[in-house]
Amino acid sequence: MELCVISSINPVHSSSTRRLGSRRLFQSDSLFLSRDGCSLLRFHGRLKKPIKPLELSCAAKKIGSGGGGVRRSAASTKAAPAVEPSVKEDKLPAELQVKETQAPNSSVKLSVEVPAVVCEDCYQRVLTEFMKMAKVPGFRPGKRVPENIIVGFVGRPYVLRATVESILKRTLPHAMESVTGKALKDSIQIVSSFPEMEKAYSQLRTLSYEVVVDVVPELKWNPENGYKDMKVVVELGDEIDAKKACERQLRQKYKSLGALKIVTDRGLQVGDLAVIDISATTIDEDGSTGEAIPDAESKGFHFDTEEGNRLLPGFLDSILGIELASQSHSRLCFLNHGSKKVSVASVLSSLDLPTLDDSLADKLLPGCTTLKEVEETLTKRCQEMEEEAKEQATDNAILEQIRKMVEVEIPQSLFEEQGRQFYGARLLEIQGNMKLTEDQLASLSSQKSVNEFLETQRESITNIIKQNLAVGDIFKRENLEFSTDELVKEVENSVTEFKKHKQEYDEERVKDQVQEILEGAKVLEWLKERAEIQYITR
């Protein structure tokens, strides 16, 4: 028996679907029912989907990291079609009474009253379905069974529940007609209590319920059209300087040729390499040591002190001076989950480096014969990287400026979806740096971890959504467009990447993502042509 959520208006593959055997489940805040409306499966609270760290679209990574700079996630603000064609064909015996009320965070509350004649029609349909399914003694399968007998055979409570489900499943799409073109996909919640609805129907033979749905948010620009003649100041850090980046890369390659030797007569200092074991515990409110965090443990981790605090801010300073086989205890903010007590045990190594001359050229950079050629090749690469970084910094500065110009209420469903995408990207980064095991990855993908992330990163997530909404609004206001060929090409490239990495994907969702990314690239190009941009080095 296939299951579908009663509060889903558009049951298609989406980011909120998950599979359970041969059944397809959809996100909801209330319950699930079968296609025939005869079986009940209730869920209390929002059904959360697990995080997949590879969920960040290949399209977003490909297009967003280059000339565009905008990464529009799957948290789309496009409205779902509120009424399916099949719904329009299902004529109700009487009109529903629907009252629409504005609710916070760009949502709408619908108060729905279902007439008795509609409830009775659903009741008769449920009885007919039970007659088809039930094997009532004395009656051939599929034949008409008197109402009192079929109700007694199935059980009155089960018939009532199935009827309420059938009423909701059948009337909800009609009730949603008033928000056609505005409702966000997978954001619909039936907020009325099912037991109360069941009790009311059993007594009155009518039904009333309330639905809350997120709608496409409306933007207000302050000042109006302020994005058309912006003055943008872009701050550039010295870390993107091509000369310094070249020197850093050459130093790293040179160090990789050195021979390690154990240090026993001093503590850790900058320039050393350390093989460290890391463990962490929580810190209780009174400052005492709490529970161990198994997923934060790492043994045999190779740490280059010249990389500074890139692994974790404050980490290097906390372990400088540690000696061979000794331990260091520090309080650090770990993985954006608050303060944690981090313990480190280490083995120290210093480098015995060879003479830096032309004989090392090919080892430093295959194909090169002299140090000068190595430096020239690295310099060219770093200059390209500097230009890309400068362009990215420009994009970021423009996006930040237009974000400050918009006032908008963020729908909760949009916030959660964007946050999950953001967290998935963060897991990719962590996994690349720390080589997480499957168990560690599963733990970091838990709903508890996701909720903590959403809270700690609420401001950042909200800002990203505002940027995306501003970009989308400018694209429409200025009638910008891109060619169909561009869209088709990028979708094909993204699908190829998904297949290459054997990742599941939904082609329609990929298309939506690519379209939003292309929109972002066009908007940034349009804004840069009209903005006055000044670069300063901090």
Please state which of the ranges 146-150, 205-209, 324-328, 374-378 shows the lowest mean pLDDT.
Answer: 324-328
Sign of CA dihedral 354, 356, 357, 360: positive
pLDDT at 519: 93
Give the confidence band of 267 by pLDDT, cuts at 50, 70, 90: confident
pLDDT recorded at residue 207? 94
Q: In this model, does residue 288 exceed pLDDT 90?
A: no
Calculate what percentage of the chain has a pLDDT beyond 90: 44
- Residue 239 has what pLDDT? 75
Mean pLDDT score, 98-105 = 94
β-strands 231-236, 532-537: how paired?
A: parallel
pLDDT at 328: 53
* Predicted local confidence at residue 87, as pLDDT: 57
Between 264 and 137, the higher pLDDT residue: 137
* The predicted structure's pLDDT at residue 461: 93
pLDDT of residue 445: 84
Count CB-CB contacts under 10 A for residue 108: 18
In this structure, of 97-111, 244-258, 273-287, the range with the lowest mean pLDDT score is 273-287
* 0.75 surpassed by pTM: no
pLDDT for 350 equals 62
Per-residue burial over 177-201, b if 16 or more Cβ lie within 10 Å, else e, is: eebeebbbbbbbbbebebeebbebb
- Residues 6 or more apart from 522 whose CB is under 8 A from it? 475, 480, 481, 482
pLDDT at position 56? 33
Query: Among 62-71, 254-263, 343-352, 415-424, which stretch is predicted with the lowest mean pLDDT?
Result: 62-71
Give SS3 for 177.
helix
Between 333 and 221, name the one with better pLDDT: 221
- Quick one: pLDDT at residue 334? 45
Query: Rounded CA gap, 156 and 127, in Å?
Result: 11
pLDDT at 333: 46
Q: What is the largest CA-CA distance in the chain?
A: 99
Condensed to tens digits (0 to 9), the pLDDT of residues 392-429 reads 999 999 999 999 999 999 999 999 988 998 888 888 78
Among 86-100, 254-268, 399-413, 461-475, the range scoring the smallest mean pLDDT is 254-268
